[in-house]
Amino acid sequence: MKLLFVNACMRGKESRTHQLCMDYLEKFLRAKKEEDWQIEELDLNSMDIQPLTGESLARRDFLSRDKKFEDDEFALANQMIEADHVLIGAPYWDLSFPAKLKTYLERCSVTGLTFIYSPQGVPEGQCRASSLTYITTSGSAIADFNFGYEYIKGLCCLFGIPRTHFASAEELDIIGNDIHKIMTSAKDKITDIIDEL
């Protein structure tokens, strides 16, 4: 089975979000040691993923109409479809997440591939993952402005991924806060998520 780790931690291994993701992967593999799981990581920071333009969208639509889904244009979408579990790690930037993650998700969202429409016009997800976990960190409180995770949850409904989980370490840049305590609390939440999977 395959866990797809979408690494949108723009600061690399120094990122606190990345640290939490490493904690998640370690605990996941330990909990699933009796099963044959492979980790497939996409480091978005090192990938040349371009936003869709009128020209590239026209090409994608042409390929979609001809059902040429084996084309490299759809490599990321096919990868998402084939994952059994998805982990997304991204910092909390500008009320959501880095633009590179949005560009990646655009490339995954393909009518006729990651989702189809029923004769009644109802979208039906085609991804086989049973769950997705989203991990983030923020310098201040996220509170009611968790737009990144809300967007991810909406896409999971579209893609047919029935369960989502969320873990965060917040208020990390507030002077006087106990960073170690905040990170430990987030890792405890990660442990709870792993126990649910």
Tens-of-pLDDT digits for all 197 residues of the chain?
A: 999 999 999 999 899 999 999 999 999 999 999 999 999 999 999 999 999 999 999 999 999 999 999 999 999 999 999 999 999 999 999 999 999 999 999 999 999 999 999 999 999 999 999 999 999 999 999 999 999 999 999 999 999 999 999 999 999 999 999 999 999 999 999 999 999 99
What does the alpha-carbon distance between residue 56 and residue 52 come to, in Å, rounded to a whole number? Answer: 6
C-alpha neighbours within 13 Å on the C-beta side of residue 129 = 28
Q: In b/e form, how buried is each residue of 108-129, taking b as 16+ CB within 10 angstroms? A: bbbeebbbeeeeeeeeebbbbb
DSSP character at residue 169: E
- Number of separate domains in the chain: 1
In this prediction, residue 162 carries a pLDDT of 98
Angle formed by the axes of helices 147-159 and 99-108, to 10°? Answer: 10
Q: Is 14 left (phi over 0), alpha (psi -120 to 50) or beta?
A: alpha
CATH of the domain at 146: 3.40.50.360
CB 8 within 8 A of CB 100: yes
pLDDT in tens, 71-121: 999 999 999 999 999 999 999 999 999 999 999 999 999 999 999 999 999
- For 51, the token pair is 């936003």
Give the type of residue at 50: Q
pLDDT of residue 94: 96
Q: What is the DSSP letter of 111?
A: B
Identify the CA nearest to 87 among candidates 11, 181, 156, 185: 156
Provide the domain limits for residue 78. Answer: 2-196
Please tell me the pTM assigned to this model: 0.96
Measured in whole angstroms, how far is the alpha carbon of residue 92 from the centre of its chain?
13
Q: Please list the residues that pair with 116 across neighbouring strands.
A: 124
